[in-house]
Structure 1
Amino acid sequence: MKGGYIIRDQEKPHFLTCTIVDWIDIFTRKSYRDIVIDCLDFCIKNKGMVLFGYGVMSNHIYIIVQSKEGKLSDLIRDFKKFTAKRILEALHQEPESRKEWILERFAKATESHSRNTNYQIWGYGGHAEEIFKLKFMWDKLNYIHLNPVRAEIVEKAIHYVYSSASYYAKDKSLLNIELADNPIINTSDTKEFWKYNNYDE
């Protein structure tokens, strides 16, 4: 995996940021967000992906992920390849007012790379950060879950459908998440913790 931070330990969970080239805000449309969800679900069920958290923003996604097979770089590569193929198919088949402009940007992105000859959808790398402590895991989970709140998309983290916030708060999500133990709270102060972090309703 080139660019950003390199995944050195293929068996450890990592926090990754995967960005669309030129920061094109393709995920403002539900159909493209759903492609990401469908592909993550496929990887969980068929590719040995363990997903601890996720968030889909307008032009990038956050995931905290691990490979059961100890091949995380390959897993992320396949995920990006699969989603890129689906996004291109949707661009050609579904109504999209910006289709020509988006395809032009995707095509231009290949000029500086030899790996893709027609279109480049994802930026290379993923700024991978190894999760070395449970506390660090929760720092990243809170960052992911509160991002839509900071962006003023929603008032509460659990109101944002395309993240794992509601799964941690209410065991409800679009995807099957591997819950990370929380080292910060216990049963007596759980409600206050969620309230402080805007997870409550």
Structure 2
Amino acid sequence: MPVRKAIPEKDGAYFITFTCSNWLPLFKICNAYDAVYNWFNHLKQKSHYIIGYVIMPSHVHAVIAFSNTGKSINTIISNGKRFIAYDLINRLRKQNSHLILSELSSGLNKTEIKEGKLHSVFETSFDWKECRTEKFIQQKLDYIHFNPCKAKLVELPEQYEHSSAKYYYAGNQGIYPVTSFMELRDIDLTALHT
């Protein structure tokens, strides 16, 4: 899954966004928010840190601190998207969502079809921004936490269930526990974790 521009580093804090194909609300349709949480669990097992997130019906925003595991961050994110995509397709099949599955198949290009790909679940690229300062991390967290408010899903950020806003605005961990970005000061992300 290509990215517009490859992330040159193997560690660091990054603001990441990936979107369902055609902005379809697949996480809502499949009630598959837990698929992202499962990916977060995998990341934590590999010594990465989830700093903040929001899982919208059609896309994911996250601030993730990646430890150096020897793998490129692009590969880590691409593998995560693939892992989540398989889960979404399985759920759509169980729901007999033939129209959506057909739409996801019709978005494939000739190369993807030749490679045996059956569905295009996510946009092929993802967006990223390196978070070099605590101020920038805070800006990105505010942006993602207010996303559900802008979409008129809730009035206050901490009311949205699939977000870390509850932690940052009310002091209570939500569905998925996150690591405060302030704790990154004491974490050496550059040390190799295998």
Question: TM-score with structure 1 length normalisation?
Answer: 0.80
- RMSD of aligned C-alpha atoms? 2.0
SS in 2 for 1:172: coil
How far the C-alpha of 1:109 sits from its partner, in A, is: 2.1
Are the aligned partners of 1:41 and 1:175 in contact in 2 as well (CA < 8 Å)? Answer: no
Report the residue type matching 1:150 in the other structure.
Answer: K
The 8 Å contact of residues 108 and 119 in structure 2, kept in 1 or not, is answered as: yes
Cα drift, residue 62 of structure 1: 0.2
Tell me whether 1:88 sits opposite 2:89 in the alignment: yes
| Secondary structure of 1:31's aligned partner | coil
Residue aligning to 1:151: 151
Map of 2:66 onto structure 1: 67
With over 3 angstroms needed to count, the CA separation of the structure-2 counterparts of 1:129 and 1:92, relative to structure 1, is same
- Give the whole-Å Cα distance in 1 for the aligned partners of 2:42 and 2:23: 25
Partner of 1:198: none
| Cα deviation, residue 30, structure 1 | 6.2
Q: Give the conservation status (yes or no) of the 8 Å contact 1:110–1:116.
A: no
Q: Which runs of 5+ in 2 are unaligned?
A: 184-194
For 2:47, the equivalent position in structure 1 comes to 48
The corresponding residue for 2:141 is 141
Q: With a CA cutoff of 8 Å and minimum separation of 6, indicate the structure with the bigger relative contact order.
A: 2
**SS state of the match for residue 125, structure 2?**
coil
- Residues 1-201 of structure 1 mapped to structure 2, 5 A cutoff: 2-29=2-29, 31-44=31-44, 46-68=45-67, 69=69, 71=71, 72-93=73-94, 95=95, 99-111=97-109, 113-114=111-112, 117-169=117-169, 170-181=171-182
SS at match of 2:109: helix
The superposition leaves residues 38-82 of structure 1 with CA deviations (integer Å, 9 ceiling, x where unpaired) of 3222332x2333111110112111011122225322221221111
Q: Is the 8 A contact 1:25 1:59 kept in 2?
A: yes
Runs of 4+ in 1 over 4 A off after TM superposition: none
Range with bigger deviation, 48-57 or 68-77: 68-77
The alignment-based identity, stated in percent, is 24
CA contact (8 A) 2:26 2:88 kept: no
TM-score w.r.t. the length of structure 2 is 0.83
- Preserved CA contact (<8 Å) 1:109 1:119: yes
Which ranges of structure 1 fall in alignment gaps of 5 or more residues?
183-201
Aligned residues: 178
